[in-house]
Amino acid sequence: MDFLNHDNILRSTDDVERHPLKPFLPQGCKVLFLGSFPPQRKRWCVDFFYPNFTNDHWRIEGLVFFDDKNYFVDTARRTFLLDRIVAFLRERGIGFYDTATAVRRLQQNASDKFLEIVEPTDIESLLAEVPACSTLAVTGEKATLTLCRNFGVEKMPPVGGNVSVTLPLLGRSVHIYRLPSSSRAYPLSIEKKAEAYKRMFGFCGLI
């Protein structure tokens, strides 16, 4: 499986960094996760979204769907089970991308606080490819702010809340559903985060 966007990797510079992954938009996608931007390549353990082994996104999904935080984790090799993840996402109709396609890192770390968005993602173009998608699940404050600005939403939803927006070009409505960040820097236990994600998946009709 090759999810890397090799053209963008070649076009990246020390200043502006373009998104290194292709959008993951499985057939029948019902919910599209949107973060801010991937961490630096040196932090990756898989060539996919949420690639940092210390980020708990895949542990949260393991808890939500299988009551096992290590369901998608290879603990011995300190990596994630990518084949298992991709098969699961395709079966459930869960897509992934980010709210920015080009950024500058103001400091050499993965913090959203020091991420300058140079080019926001054209979300409507992504949604045109997944007509069954009705929920945009945003993980983190910066991703939520970027998406809300993109659609002219004046007030961000609270964590665990959502707002409905009408897409001007596609003429259909979607929900922006704000989730707690899966980063361990976010001060909430993994169990509480899993509860929030489970509510979102229930809202989407996936559980």
In 3-state terms the chain splits into helix, strand, coil percentages (rounded to 5) of 30, 25, 45
The span from the CA of 168 to the CA of 151, in Å, is 9
pLDDT > 70 in the chain, percent: 92
The model's pLDDT over 110-138, given as tens digits with 9 standing for 90+, comes to: 556 677 889 999 999 999 999 999 999 99
pLDDT at 10: 44
Q: How confident is the model at residue 8 (pLDDT cuts 50, 70, 90)?
A: low
Phi-psi region of 187 (alpha: psi -120 to 50; beta: other; left: phi over 0): beta
pTM (two decimals): 0.91
Is residue 9 within a helix (H) or strand (E), and if so which, with residue range?
Answer: helix 6-11
Fold for the domain defined by 13-202 = Uracil-DNA Glycosylase, subunit E (3.40.470)
Return the pLDDT at 109: 56
